[in-house]
Structure 1
Amino acid sequence: MNFEHLQKQVAFIHEIDKVKYIQRKTRLFNSDRNENDAEHSWHLAMMAIILAQHANEPIDTLKVVKMLLIHDVVEIDAGDVFLYDTAISHTNTEAERKAAERIFGLLPPEQAEELIAVWEEFEAGETAEAKFARAMDRLEPLLQNVSNNGGTWQEHNVKYDQVVQKKSVIEHGSKTLWDFAKTLIDDSVEKGILKK
């Protein structure tokens, strides 16, 4: 048994526990409590398993689950950026790249390379798996905001056009889920929980 290999894996497992302490802006369904990144990642992974049949193209669901479980690990170092933040871009940053290299670099080289490649694939958003994973990442907060009568939309004065622009990524992974999401967005305007 190669204990050095195992020690690296355990060091990574220990490090990613920090994901549980990263607070997101969105709140749990029907709740005043903010979600943390670990809860978010778990929920997205479950959503991908349940909703995989709605993907635009055939997908490797296990790969999607991997993407969703690791996509926010970089926030241990880089922090969480609110999707509607106008001062900081929500796209891949140099800080996230350095975080990926440091955190996944705790693993034995072969595993580190695999997880960095999976993370990069998610960030690029070009494969069927990445498109579907990104659809899950955009759908969950929408569902949370609807369940919380506007939630962070209301709190941060987010408008209809901003939501449509940011959430339209869902369509690249699932036209069906985008149609559903668009209905929820439009209904939110009618209910007065999202402003035009």
Structure 2
Amino acid sequence: MSRHEQNDLTDLTDFLMEIDALKRVERRSYIGGGGRRENSAEHSWQLALACWSISRRFNLEVSEEKLIKLALVHDLGEIDAGDTFLYARERSNAHQAERRCLARLTAHAGNSIPELADLWEEQETGRSIETRLLKVVDRLLPFLLNVKSEGRTWVELGISRSQVLAAHAFIAEEFPQIHDWMLAQIDNAVERGWLKPE
């Protein structure tokens, strides 16, 4: 193999630009301060760090390496599928396009993480402590951004108290302390007119 062939990183750089596309996926949540909406790459970074932090705060027996890997691959499917809003009707079909995207990225010549699709599948369907924590924090972060932006997304889209309660009900079993905090925030959001009361 020639030195030129050894130094040809075209496949790798092509792959890195494929995953760079996650930065172009705009979410509905506004960043802290409300200046603009966040993108999915930013959310994935915050998700990984938040999961790591919360696992230590609650002294959870997790594999931190696994937890962070699951968080980092969590939204990769949105490169092709786009972000599906939590309260959207078509949300139930989003996983199909995301699964195809992960298969495409895994097969990419520049990808050197053969378990990429398996990691994504695990975070999507798994029941380990790592995947359960990931699902809770994935709901907590946009909720927190809504609280800190005075319910901006909720107000824009006419979201109701019952919708938010239903979307976050599972957290009561997984992390009651977090769920209790969220319930207090929901009551406050209704009082302030950020959420419809029904």
Give TM-score scaled by structure 1 length.
0.87
Q: Residues 173 and 105 (structure 1 numbering): CA distance in 2 closer, same or farther, change over 3 Å?
A: farther
Matches within 5 A, 1:53-64: 53-54=56-57, 58-64=61-67
Aligned length: 194
Partner of 2:49: 46
Partner of 1:67: 70
Q: Residues 9 and 182 (structure 1 numbering): CA distance in 2 closer, same or farther, change over 3 Å?
A: farther
Distance in 2 between residues matched to 1:106 and 1:125, nearest whole Å:
25
Distance in 2 between residues matched to 1:64 and 1:8, nearest whole Å:
28
SS in 2 for 1:111: coil
User: Deviation digits for residues 4-30 of structure 1, max 9, x if unmatched?
Assistant: 996654432221011111111111012
- Identity within the alignment, %: 35
> Greater CA deviation, 186-195 or 47-56?
47-56
SS in 2 for 1:25: strand
Unpaired runs of at least 5, structure 2: none
User: Deviation digits for residues 124-152 of structure 1, max 9, x if unmatched?
Assistant: 14211111011111000000001111121
Matches within 5 A, 1:1-196: 3=6, 8-54=11-57, 58-86=61-89, 88-90=90-92, 92-106=94-108, 111-112=113-114, 114-171=115-172, 173-196=174-197
Q: Point out which structure has higher relative CO (alpha carbons under 8 A, 6+ apart).
A: 1
Amino acid at match of 1:144: L
Answer whether contact 1:54 1:174 (CA < 8 A) is retained. Answer: no
> Greater CA deviation, 185-194 or 73-82?
185-194
Answer whether contact 1:128 1:173 (CA < 8 A) is retained. Answer: no
Answer whether contact 1:75 1:96 (CA < 8 A) is retained. Answer: yes
> Greater CA deviation, 139-148 or 3-12?
3-12
> Greater CA deviation, 26-35 or 136-145?
26-35
Unpaired runs of at least 5, structure 1: none
SS in 1 for 2:91: coil
Answer whether contact 1:20 1:36 (CA < 8 A) is retained. Answer: yes
> Greater CA deviation, 100-109 or 42-51?
100-109
Distance in 2 between residues matched to 1:168 and 1:54, nearest whole Å:
22
Higher Cα Rg: structure 1 or 2?
2
Distance in 2 between residues matched to 1:67 and 1:83, nearest whole Å:
20
